[in-house]
Structure 1
C-alpha cells in the first residue's frame, strides 16, 4: 500500500497508491473526457465555500476552538510565468487522515459501475452527467493540470499536511509545519494551447468569466490580486472581489435568471447537469423563511443506499447551520436538493431538537406540499419532464404512499405504473379509472419480479381474454402500498392473484351457471382427494374461473400476504408463519380432465399422487415460485416423460 520515507512522526513522508477505481477515474480525467473543462474551478471554489461554512458552524458550536473568523474568504492566485493557479481558503481545513480518506480514495460503492458507464459513453455530455452523480469534483483538476499540490491544516491542530500527485498511480503525503489554517490547491497548468486561447486558465479575464458564470452567488468573497500598469510603466496591485455574494434564495423570483439557479444547484449538489425543476418560495408571518429547492435531472447513485445522503441545507439568517437536514424533507423525497433559510431559529440548534421543533415540522409540511404540487403541474403541463421525473424517482416517491398518510391522496394522483393497456407507456390511476369497462368495480393489479413474468402468468389469462386492464407492479414497494391503500377514487384495488374472480356479466352467468354446477359435482371427488394429498402445500384445491389456457395456478385468499412480501419480511429478519395458499384447476384443460377420469377409474393408483405433485409444482413455477425439492420434481418429470415415449 505505501512506502515510508523520512524519519520521525513529525516529518512523515509517504508515497501511497490510489484506490484502483480512483486510478481509473483519474486516467479518464487526465485524458480529458469532458468538453467543458472550466468547471474544475467551480468545483474548487465550491469545496472552499463548504470549508468556510463548516468552520463558522464549528466555531459557533465549539467555544474552545481558537480560530479567527473575522475575514473568511476564498483567494485565487495566478503565477503566469510558472503557469500555476492556486485556490486558497481559510476554512476548516483537513487532518492528514482526512486527506488520505477523502482524496486518496473514492469512498463510495458503485464506482465500478460509474467507470463502466463512462467508458461505454461516447458522448462528452453524457459522461459529464455520470461523473456528477458521484461527487468527485476534485479530480476534475487533472483535466487542466499536470501536477496538483494540496496544502492544508485543520482548525485547532498545529501540524499541516502536503499532498501531491500527477494523477498517475500514486500520490505523496507529507507532514509539514507552519501552514496557515485552511486549504490551498495549486495546479501546475498544462502547456498553453497556442491555437485555442479560450482555455488559458492563467489569464485574468478567463478566471473572471468562470467565477461570474459559475460562482457569483457564493456567500463568501472570492478575491484575486490583479496587476495594472499605467502609462508611465508603473505597476500597481489591486485586490478585487470577483463575486456579488448575493444569496439567490433571498432575491425575488423575477430577479434571478434560470442560468443562475442552475449554477447554484450545481454548487450545492455537486451535480454537473442542470436541474429538472426549480422551486423558489418565501413564507412570511409567524415563522419566516425562504426556500430554494431543486428536483435533479437524474437519480443519484446512492438513492437506494442506506448510507445515502438526504435532506436539504439549513441556514439561519444566511448563516450555514447544517448539511443534509433530514428534518426538512421526508425520506421518500430524499433526492430533492436545496436550501432553507429560517429567520427565527437558534444558531446552535441540533438535529435532535429539529426533529421535535413544531415550526420546522410546519415548514416541512409546506415544502412537501409544494414539491408534490409542482410534480402534479409537471404531469399536467410538461409530459416529457414528468416522464423523466417518474423514470428517475418514481420508485422512491411510491415509498411515500406508505410513509406519508397526510399526502396520500396527492401522491396517488401523481404516481404512474405500467399496465397491460400499453407496453410502452405507463398509466396514472386516474387514467385507468377512466378506461374501466362498464360494470367494472375494481382496479385490477398483479405484483411480480418482472413485466414478462406477470404478462405470462396464468393469473391474468381470463382478464386478457375478457379485455380487462391489469396494472403491472414490479417494484418491491408495490407489494406494500397496494395492501395499505386498498382503494382509489372509490374503486377497490384487487389483486388478480388473490380471492375469487368472477368476470362474467349477468347474462353470461345465466348461460354458464348450469355448466358450472355440473363441473362442481363432477370434480368434487378429485378436488377432495387433491386437497388431502397436497395438505402440506395448500389449504384448498378448487376450480378456477381465471384460467383459460393453463391447467392450474396458485392463488391467495383475499387477505393473505403475498409470497414476495413474505420473502421481504424474512430478508429483514422477521419471523413469518408459512401461509398456505389455494390451488386452482382449469376444468377445461386436457390435463385436468384426464386426471379426473383417471381418478374415477383407479383412485388408488400411485401414479396419481405423483401427477398431483407435478401439477402443483408446475403451478408454483408458473408464478415464479421456488420448489421445496427441485431434484424430486425433476426426477418425477423425467420418469413421466420417459414413460410417454
Structure 2
C-alpha cells in the first residue's frame, strides 16, 4: 500500500509508554512552561537540519529560504499551534521519532553528520527524544502534521498520550508546504497558554535567542508579530556591540534599571568551548543578602535557556548577572537536571577567573568605578576569602578597607604595608558592628598614640575570614582585642604623650587585689600598654576567637564555653592611681571599685553589666561614700 493510499494506522507506543509519559509529566519537569521551550527547540533543530541538507540539495528550500517558527493562539478552540518550515518528517520518521520514547532523530542525524565529516556539522539542540512528550503536561491530545521537504505527501500523527497513537495521510491543503505543525488541544486548567502575554513571556525568557525567528499570531487569522529575531547578543563579536547594546541586554537579563559597572564578555576555546557574558551591577540587587545565597547566572545550551539553578559562579559572586552558553554540556533526560561534569567545573573555574581578573583591572585602571563596586559588593566578595582557598590571596589583595587614618576613603593592603611603622610586624585590625563604635574603642588608644594604622572591619563576615586569611607580604594578621599589644618596640608619634612611668607598687598591689577579687569572672588582670586615655578595657586571650567573633559565636549558640576575657588596667590613669591609694583595709570599697571597673570595661566593649542590679547597688554605695567624704 502506497503512502497516499494509507488508511489510519493505530500503533502502540514502544515500551511501557503510559508509565513513562506519567513520569515525564509528573517527575521529569518541575515547570510546565518548559513544554514550549522543548517544542521550539525541536522546531529550531528541524530548520537547522534543512539548512544543512540544502547545502547539497538547494531545491529543498523551494523558494522559501528563510527559516521561521510560528506560534498560533486559538483561544476560541482552546488550542496552541507550533509550526516550523524546517525539514519535516515522512511517515516512517513520524513513527520512529514520535512513537518511541527516548529515541532521538536529532541524535541519529548528528551521528550521520559526524560519520561523514568527522566533526559536528550542525548546531542542534534536542538530543534525547523526550522533550516532545512534555506537551502532554498541558494537552490531552496532540496532533502533528508534517511534510518532508521535497515530498508530495504529508502525514498526521495523533495521540492522547495514554499508550497509543495513530498515523494517517494528511490532506495537502491542510498541511504545511514544508515542515511540521503541532497542534496542542489544551486541558481545561492550561487555557492560559492561549494568552499572548503568557506565551510571549515564556518565549522571551526561555527561547528568545534560538537561531530562528519566532512569531506569534494572537488568533488564527491575525497578522504575525515577531517576538524573537533569531539573534543572540553574546554570539556577536565584541567590536559589533555598543555600550548601549550591552546595557540594554543587562537590564533584561538582570531585571534591573541601572547601568552595569563592569561587563565581561568572552569565548573560551580549546578543550571546552563556551561563551560567557557577565555583568557586575551598578547598584546592589535587592536579593544580595538572600539567605540561600544563590547565583543569578543563566545556563544556555546552543542558545536555548536551560536553567538558572546551575552554580556557574561561587556564592561570593552571586551579585554577578549574565549567562553562559555552551554546545556540549552533558545533560540527562531533562534539560533541567544538569549532570555534574568536568565541563561544568571547567566553566565555573573559567568564568570565575575572568570575572575576578576583570575586577582587578578595574581596580588598577578605573579607581572611582572600582571604589563604588567595592562599596556595593565588598562585603560579599570577602566571603570568598573564607570560602575559596584557591583564590583567597587574590581576594585579599583585591580587598579595600576603612582604617583609623583613611577617613572616608578605602585603603588597599599594599598601601597599608607600605606605610607600616618601623618595628611593626603585623597587620592590625579591629572588628565590630559599626564604624563609630570602633573609632571610640579604648583598645585603639595605644595604636593611635604611635600612629599605627588599624583596619576597621564592620561587616559580619570580617570576624571569620581574618582567622584564616593568608599573610600579606609576609605580615600576619593580629586583632588588637586579642592577646598582648606588644607596642613597646614602636615609637610614639611626634607630639604624643610621653611614655608613662612604670606602675607604682601601689598599682601593682591593686592589680593583684583585682585579680583575686574577680576570680573566675576573668582569665587575668594585668597592666596595659595599649591604653592611654581610658582606665580599663577587655581583651581576649592570645589563643581562640577575638572579642567580636566570640560574641557572634555565643549569640548563635556555637560557643558554650567561651574563654574568660582579660581585664587590662591603665596604670597611669588618675582613677586607677586614686583607687590604688585607697586604704588597703577598706576591702568593701575596693571590691566595689574593682567590680565597677569590670562593668565599665564591658560597657566600653559594647556589652552591658553582667549583673545590672548589682552594678546599680555598687554605684550607689560609691556615690554615698563620695558624698560623705
**TM range, smaller chain:** 0.5 to 0.7
**Structure 2 partner of 1:262:** 247
2:233 aligned residue: 248
Larger radius of gyration: 2
| Cα distance change, pair 555–219 in 1 and its aligned pair in 2 (3 A) | farther
**Cα distance in 1 for residues equivalent to 2:401 and 2:335:** 36
Who is 1:312 aligned against? 297
Are the counterparts in 1 of residues 500 and 572 from structure 2 also a CA contact under 8 Å?
no
Distance, in Å, in 1 between the alignment partners of 2:616 and 2:72 is: 73
| 3-state SS, counterpart of residue 427 of structure 2 | strand
2 CA distance for matches of 1:570 and 1:223? 60
Q: Which residue of structure 2 aligns with residue 612 of structure 1?
A: 594
- Equivalent in the alignment of 1:408: 392
Q: Write the mapping of 1:120-135 to structure 2, written as runs, cut at 5 A.
A: none
Q: Work out whether 1:583 is the aligned partner of 2:567.
A: yes
Q: What does residue 376 of structure 1 align with?
A: 360
State the SS of the aligned residue for 2:520.
coil
User: By how many angstroms is 1:570 displaced?
Assistant: 3.8
Q: Tell me which residue corresponds to 2:257.
A: 272
Which residue of the partner structure matches residue 195 of structure 2?
Answer: 184
Find the counterpart in structure 2 of residue 223 from structure 1.
215
User: Aligned equivalents of 1:541 and 1:499: distance in 2?
Assistant: 12
1:297 to 276, 279, 282: 282
Q: 2:210 touches 2:304 (CA, 8 Å); kept in 1?
A: no
Please list the CA deviations of residues 55-109 of structure 1 after superposition, one character each: whole Å capped at 9, or x if unmatched: 4359999xxxxxxxx98666899xxxxxxxxxx9979xxxxxxxxxxxxxxxxxx
Q: Any idea what SS the aligned residue of 2:322 has?
A: strand
Aligned twin of 1:156? 137
Q: Confirm whether residue 563 of structure 1 aligns to residue 574 of structure 2.
A: no
Question: If the length of structure 1 is used for normalisation, what is the TM-score?
Answer: 0.64
Is residue 209–residue 232 contact of structure 2 (8 Å, CA) maintained in 1? yes
Alpha carbon RMSD of aligned pairs, Å?
Answer: 3.9
* 1:602 corresponds to 2:587: no
8 Å Cα contact 2:482/2:539 also seen in 1? yes
Give the deviation of 1:259 after TM superposition: 2.0
Aligned residue number for residue 548 of structure 1 = 532
**1:282 alignment partner, one of 258, 267, 284:** 267
SS in 1 for 2:409: strand
Q: Compute the displacement of 1:555 (Å).
A: 0.8
Secondary structure of the structure 1 residue equivalent to 2:391? helix
Cα distance in 2, alignment partners of residues 555 and 522 from structure 1: 23
Deviation by residue 1:541-570 (Cα, 9 ceiling, x = unmatched): 100001111111111122231233233334
Matches within 5 A, 1:387-402: 387-402=371-386
Give ranges in structure 2 of 5+ residues lacking alignment: 1-30, 43-66, 75-79, 84-134, 141-185, 493-498
Query: Of residues 463, 480, 504 in structure 1, which corresponds to 2:488?
Result: 504
Q: 1:377, CA displacement in angstroms? A: 0.9
Q: Aligned runs of 1:15-164 on 2, under 5 Å? A: 55-56=36-37, 156-157=137-138
CA distance in 2, matches of 1:90, 1:633: 79
Q: Paired residue for 2:607, among 616, 622, 625?
A: 625
1:218 is displaced (CA, Å) by 7.4
Q: What TM-score, normalized by structure 2, do the two folds share?
A: 0.66
Change (3 A) 1:557 1:522: same
Q: Separation in 2 of the partners of 1:301 and 1:605? A: 59
Could you tell me how far apart the structure 1 residues matched to 2:334 and 2:612 are?
A: 56
Aligned to 2:446: 462
1:494 aligns with 2:478: yes
Distance 2:402 2:71 in 1: 50
Alignment of 1:351-362 (within 5 A): 356-362=340-346
Question: Which consecutive aligned stretches of 4+ in structure 1 deviate over 6 angstroms post-superposition?
Answer: 58-61, 74-77, 88-91, 349-353
Does the 8 Å CA contact 2:550/2:559 hold for their aligned counterparts? no
Pairwise CA distance, 1:294:
1.0
User: Could you tell me how far apart the structure 2 residues matched to 1:506 and 1:568 are?
Assistant: 32
Check conservation: 1:60, 1:348, Cα contact below 8 A: no
Shift of 1:438: 2.7
Checking the alignment, whether the CA contact within 8 Å between 2:41 and 2:304 is kept in structure 1 is no
SS at match of 1:564: helix
Deviation at 1:178, TM superposition (A): 9.2
Unmatched tracts of structure 1, length 5 or more: 1-49, 62-69, 78-87, 92-153, 160-174, 188-206, 227-235, 509-514
Aligned position for 2:14: none
Per mean C-alpha deviation after superposition, the further-off stretch among 543-552 and 376-385 is 376-385
Tell me the CA shift for residue 519 of structure 1: 2.1
Deviation at 1:318, TM superposition (A): 2.1
Cα pair 1:321 1:348 within 8 Å, conserved: no
Q: 1:642 to 1:471 in 2, by over 3 A?
A: same
**Equivalent-residue separation in structure 2 for 1:474 and 1:258 (angstroms):** 36
